[in-house]
Amino acid sequence: MPRFRTAYIISQEYKRKKRRFRVILGIVCLFAILIFYSQIIDFIDRSEDISSVPSKPSNKDNFSVQNRSTDLDKSRSGSMKRSATTSKPSGGTLTKDLEIYYNRGVTYYESGDYDNAIVEFSKAIGINLRYSDAYYMRGNAYYKRGQYDQAISDYTKAIEINPRYAEAYYGRGLAYHDKGQYDQAIFDYTKAIEINPRFAEAYYNRGNAYYKKGQYDQAISDYSKVIKINARDAEVYFKRGICYYKKGQYDQAIIDFNEVIEINPKDADAYNNRGLAYYKKGQYVLAISDFSKAIEINLKYAEAYYNRGLVYYVKGQYDQAISDYTKAIEINPGYAEAYCARGSVYDIKRQFEQALSDYNKAIWINPRYDIAYYNRGFIYYKKGQYDQAISDFSKVIEISPWYAGVAYNARGLVYREKGQFERAKEDFKKACDLGIIQACEELKKLK
């Protein structure tokens, strides 16, 4: 009889441990999912690719939750050309041949034939080495060709000849901007503004440079100056709205996106972004309405489907979330974030095979997708595939310092389940040192 009593006690203890482990695992899984959704909904933390060209921007940051590069900050030109027939060239006299070469260069430039434009401007410079406008326009042509160093050289020469040449400072600022040299760009934009205090494009692009440096207050100040000059500039309201969003000032962001929509009621991006600001305020019905409006305007708007899916997920409407993620994937088969998000919903619905399939796809698209590895690790754990789980958590530790703490903790839990207590202690210790409180508690239990 005592022998059976002992077996009963051991069995009960095993069940208690197993229940406790499941509770812990559930907490960890929930923590992982919360981290995942807080990261992917925070759409502009991993920043946009400025692709400045001397033309009015045709695209904006569409707040694609993972910051898919959409040429947020395409620069605007301002005064990018001067005609020799209407403007005397600075620093030199205008001869007939020089006028012909210069105007021919302008014609080629306007038609997009930058190679021939460069040839003609060079001929004009050959006649008059102090022809600042020809240097400036040749710099524009080099800029259009992406030859930024040559453009900078020509803009600099124009400035040496004419130190009050605001457009040349501005053009050089654009070239520095596209080279990622934002401090130099800001310096040149500032010089252009000092010469011409109403140079709206210089304010706008200086704001873009401040934005890239994370100096949102300065960016907002510059965008506000542009709005004072032109109160109907939807692009500037849009950009200022992004900055307010980045600062967590969601009401101000919504006001600016409202202005964009008033100016252009068919601006799908503005609806999408306002939807995310509403989401941040917990106004989910308004958020869904805006994402739906963005989709109505643009039926191929994968990011809007994705964003609406996130809100449905938060509201616990999992089938609708899956439907929206699926639509996003149909539009963009390479949308790793949508696969990972859909996998998380399948996981919650305990449809583990579908979840595993989606995590595999996300990792295939992006082999360094830390969250997908982390989530897949828990699927493997639930399926009893401990070695695969350990492998995935180890991968997270390798590629993502940000998630190393929770990954060490998760791997420690798996090692403990396998009875490898020393390894579990090591992982809990590392996780504890990285600030994971649960790991500290687990470590105490094993000592």
In a domain, 125, yes or no: no
Q: What is the pLDDT of residue 446?
A: 87
Structure tokens at 309: 């899916």
In a domain, 258, yes or no: no
Q: Which of 21-30, 152-161, 216-225, 234-243 has the lowest mean pLDDT?
A: 21-30
Cα separation, 278 vs 109, whole angstroms: 45
What proportion of the chain, given as a percentage, has pLDDT over 70? 79
Cα separation, 257 vs 246, whole angstroms: 14
29: domain CATH number is: 1.25.40.10
In a domain, 266, yes or no: no
Contact 247, 263 (CB under 8 A): no
Which phi-psi region, left, alpha or beta, contains residue 112 (left: φ > 0; alpha: ψ -120 to 50)? left
Contact 110, 123 (CB under 8 A): no
pLDDT tens by residue, 394-427: 999 999 999 999 999 999 999 999 999 999 999 9
pLDDT tens by residue, 272-318: 999 999 999 999 999 999 999 999 999 999 999 999 999 999 999 99
**Band of residue 96 on the pLDDT scale cut at 50, 70, 90:** confident
In a domain, 81, yes or no: no
Task: Give the DSSP H/E element, type plus range, for residue 35.
Answer: helix 2-41
In a domain, 377, yes or no: yes
In a domain, 19, yes or no: yes
How many domains is the chain built from?
1
Q: Which domain holds residue 354?
A: 13-42+302-447
| Block residue for tokens 């390479």 | 334
- Label residues 308-337 b or e (16+ Cβ within 10 Å = b): bbbbbbeeebbebbbbbbebbbebbeebbb
Q: What is the pLDDT of residue 169?
A: 98
In a domain, 256, yes or no: no
Q: Which of 12-21, 185-194, 242-251, 370-379 has the lowest mean pLDDT?
A: 12-21
Q: What is the pLDDT of residue 29?
A: 52
Residues 6+ apart with CB under 8 A from 200: 78, 225, 226, 229, 230, 233
- Label residues 410-427 b or e (16+ Cβ within 10 Å = b): bbbbbbbbeebeebbbbb
Cα separation, 181 vs 167, whole angstroms: 19
- Is 70 exceeded by the pLDDT of residue 13? no
| Block residue for tokens 């754990």 | 381
Mean pLDDT across the stretch 184-198?
A: 97
- Is 70 exceeded by the pLDDT of residue 388? yes
Reported as half-sphere exposure (CB side, CA atoms, 13 A), residue 194 has a value of 10
Whole-number average pLDDT of the chain: 84
Cα separation, 381 vs 71, whole angstroms: 41
- Is 80 exceeded by the pLDDT of residue 89? no
Cα separation, 176 vs 185, whole angstroms: 5
Structure tokens at 352: 């583990």
pLDDT tens by residue, 48-76: 322 222 222 222 333 332 222 233 333 44
Residues 6+ apart with CB under 8 A from 378: 25, 28, 29, 32, 347, 389, 410
